[in-house]
Amino acid sequence: MSASPAHIAENRRVLVVDDNTAIHDDFRKILCPSRRSDAALDEFESMLFGQSELRPAHAAFELEFATQGEQGVEMVRQARTAGRPYAVAFIDVRMPPGMDGIDTTARIWRLDPDIQIVICTAYSDHTWEQILKKLGRSDRLVVLKKPFDNIEVLQLADSLTQRRHSANVTQQHLEMLQQIIAQRAPATQFAQAALDTQARLRAGMADELRTALHSGQISLHYQPLVEVATRRAVGLEALVRWKHPTQGFIAPSLFIPLAEESDLILELGEFVLRTGCEQIKAWEQAGVPVVPLAVNISALQLQHGGFAEFVRRVLRETGLQPQQLSLELTESALMKNMHEHVAELQTLRADGVGIEIDDFGTGYSSLSYLKQLPIDTVKIDRSFIQNIDSNPVDAAIVSAILAMAQTMRLRVVAEGVETREQLQVLGGYGCTYAQGYYFSKPLPAETCRKLLFELAARPAFTETLRMQLVAGPHGAPRLVAVGEGKS
């Protein structure tokens, strides 16, 4: 049986990461009462706390030291694995020749998102804005200027260990509440408590997502868009992925709605657009035979103001040509303040950027509004493709969408194609493009690069090539490009 929240032992384990061993000695003198033989320090403590016999003895800290960032990261990993995580880490900014304190902090947070960090610096190597850009806003980060006073170190160590202890107690309370809800209480009696708990958990997950954006946990995978008649790959769609340091991959259906509930979607959206553009440009400069890229845009990005200029700025800064980029928007996003959006989208389309409607058929799907929008492509929602070879209603809907799009000279993409039978039905209806697991799962950047080389060496996305995208270790797609050895 787990300990009750009131009886959780306080974690007073402190890690000091500093290349100066003299600093280690300073921390020992300040934080370890058993080693306080220095008369001056004893006098300082008497002046600070007084001589009263009623004053409680200061609880000792458990100190450990590292001289380089890499060593500190490894110690955090080992401590976490052993179930004895550090409560606080004091990290120096300058630690030549290894990682600096900012990069060390980012890597430590990937291993232990709950650890409290104190950045120690005597220089102005990083502005606060630069630190925020790298690490994100967090209540687990404090900056301490050198030379520091003993009272500052003692106060931070004491208050931050207490903060982590309080967070642990709170988490225990939440877990106990969930057990009560699940095991003993009628659902109706604790409905509001359950909602409150869920809200707290969602808020915590949102904080983790904010950290993930600045710590390398967020990345892009790329899924090919294939021309049905020729089986040629004619584009890629960028899809965002979150690999949590302890929970593994988190489904986009969980974290994207969280981002949309706050301003995080703006930061996440810019990351996706900028990273995708930078990747295509980098591939192009390296001689990779690239194809155009499609990037999903949220309604909040479109409504934020200055959307067209934002896209133009990213294109300028990354060097990607507008003709190499398409923007995917849902029907509902386009219908909000449609007339205002039309002007911005027309501007981008005039530059050469493609405009696509994603998940078509799930929203308004009106011919009258389609005629007003500056779009090039409609992507039929996967819900209509799933049973197209067995459900006459779905087949009729897809056929009608294709006929409407052909009349308006719009390109049509069928999303979520997973079987040969689905593809055959779509080909029979004259669908031009398809995308889905039948051809390829969304691929990490390196695997996608190899795929692009394969496609350039073949006339089409052949059955042989499809079979090369087999499951490797742990189910990961594996592809060996032409001219490359297996690894």
CA angle, residues 198, 303, 376, in degrees to nearest 5: 110
Pick the closest to residue 327 from 285, 279, 382, 269 (CA basis).
269
Shared domain for 397 and 458, answered yes or no, is yes
Query: Residue 98 corresponds to which tokens in the numbers above?
Result: 């290894």
- Tell me the CATH number at 239: 3.20.20.450
Residue 188 lies in a domain: no
Identify whether 174 is part of a domain.
Answer: no
pLDDT at 141 over 90: no
pLDDT in the model for residue 49: 40
Asked if residue 178 belongs to a domain, the reply is: no
- How high is the pLDDT of residue 261? 82
Are residue 37 and residue 123 in the same domain, yes or no?
yes
Judge if 160 and 68 occupy the same domain.
Answer: yes
H-run or E-run covering 413: strand 411-415
- Distance, in Å, from the CA atom of 268 to the CA atom of 271, rounded to the nearest integer, reads 5
Q: What is the pLDDT of residues 109-123, one digit of tens each?
A: 989 888 999 988 877
> Is 365 a member of any domain?
yes
Q: How does pLDDT run across 287-327, given as a tens digit for each residue?
A: 999 999 999 999 889 888 889 999 999 999 999 999 999 99
Residues 228, 287, single domain; the answer is: yes
- The pLDDT, as a whole number, for residue 26 is 87
Are 108 and 33 in the same domain?
yes
pLDDT value at residue 338: 73
Instruction: Mark 116-155 as b/e (b = at least 16 C-beta within 10 Å).
Output: bbbbbbeeeebeeeebeeebbebebbbeeeeebebeebbe
| Domains: count for the chain | 2
Peptide bond into 97 cis (omega under 30): yes
Considering the domain architecture, whether residues 144 and 282 belong to the same structural domain is answered as no
Give me the pLDDT at residue 225, please: 94
Q: Please, which pLDDT band fits residue 204 given cuts at 50, 70 and 90?
A: low
Domain of residue 154: give its range: 5-166
413-470 per-position pLDDT tens digit: 999 999 999 999 999 999 999 999 998 999 999 999 998 988 887 766 666 566 555 4
Q: Please answer whether residues 454 and 482 qualify as being in contact, where contact means their C-beta atoms are separated by less than 8 angstroms.
A: yes
User: Is residue 298 a part of any domain in this protein?
Assistant: yes
Structure-block tokens of residue 34: 């058993």
Q: How far apart are CA 152 and CA 117, in angstroms?
A: 14
Backbone angles phi, psi at 377, to 5 degrees: -140, 145
CATH number for the domain spanning 12: value is 3.40.50.2300
- The reply to whether 15 and 147 lie within a common domain is yes
Statement to judge: residues 467 and 399 lie in one domain = yes
